[in-house]
Chain A
């Protein structure tokens, strides 16, 4: 009973938030709605007993990814209305057909795979975080390390890409100096 109420409440909230993200014309509304939707998604993980995943969802998505987007948006002109694309009807038709196919596949998947057996069955009396640790550091150690290296590569790439010409600090320069540099740039 409680689970059903929670599921339907959070399902409606998530769908509404993501719809706002997709349809709004203001980038800031989209960002806020996306952050809210991410938090509501973590509620499903808590409902499913994946506590650790829910905590990671809040920390990584609403903590790291959203703040990264917020800082990234300071570079762009976000007050302007977002222009929409006019797609060809063939593309829309093809992709909607693909989505419908996915829907049917998702309906039938549990029926077809009813004889599935657990690969790493959950142990009785062990909490979710402990189980995650046991599986992650034994069966999935190599992918875990690869993911760590990938995050390091992404961090260095982000710093190098966005950090170009950041050797001059605008906050430490005098007003005239900034104006002179802007004039030189305009002339060039």
Chain B
């Protein structure tokens, strides 16, 4: 209990991932959906850093860096698209994006 092992970090990472998954499932507003994906990415980063630390290997940290870079570019492009969509329709709900429905 008092000694923190790798499993503690992995369980924490899973709990955070589950919280993010709940957010992805119940959000309809696209901005809030983005917040939930950020939580998912952060949960994975914690697992990467923990495994990297406990095995004395830097590869996990490297992948965490690339995940952060991907998250940053995802936010830039996603928010740009969201601004365009909001200017056109005035809504950012997922239900309004059914223009490709047959």
Contacts and interface: CB of A to CB of B under 8 A. Distances in A.
Contact of B79 (A82, A87, A102, A162): A162
Give the contact-size bracket for chain A: 35 or more
Most buried by B among A4, A76, A116, A159: A76
B64 A53 contact: yes
Interface string A90-119: 011001001100110011011000001011
B35 A30 contact: yes
A122 B39 CA distance: 29
Contacts of B39: 18, 21-22, 34, 37
Contacts of A99: 14, 17-18, 21
A72 B31 contact: yes
Contacts of A84: 26-28
Contacts of B42: 37-38, 41, 61
Given A85-B94, A158-B77, A50 B32 contact: no
A83 B71 contact: no
Contact of B10 (A60, A109, A119): A109
Interface in B1-57: 1-4, 6-23, 25-29, 31-32, 34-36, 38-39, 42, 45-47, 49-50, 52-57
Nearest to B90: A77
Contact of B14 (A1, A72, A102): A102
The 10 closest A-B pairs by CB, nearest first: A161-B80, A154-B73, A22-B23, A158-B76, A118-B57, A48-B53, A85-B28, A158-B80, A72-B79, A106-B10
Given A50-B53, A87-B25, A68 B75 contact: yes
Interface of B: 1-4, 6-23, 25-29, 31-32, 34-36, 38-39, 42, 45-47, 49-50, 52-59, 61-62, 64-66, 68-77, 79-84, 86-87, 92-94
A11 to B, nearest CB: 5
5 contacts: A22-B27, A48-B53, A69-B79, A106-B13, A118-B56
Given A15-B19, A34-B35, A82 B65 contact: no
Interface of A: 1, 3-4, 7, 11, 14-15, 18-19, 21-22, 27, 30-31, 34, 37-38, 41, 44-45, 47-50, 52-53, 56-57, 60-61, 64-65, 68-69, 72-73, 75-76, 78, 82-85, 87, 91-92, 95, 98-99, 102-103, 106-107, 109-110, 116, 118-122, 131-132, 135-136, 139-140, 143, 147, 150-151, 153-155, 157-162, 164-165
A87 B27 CA distance: 10
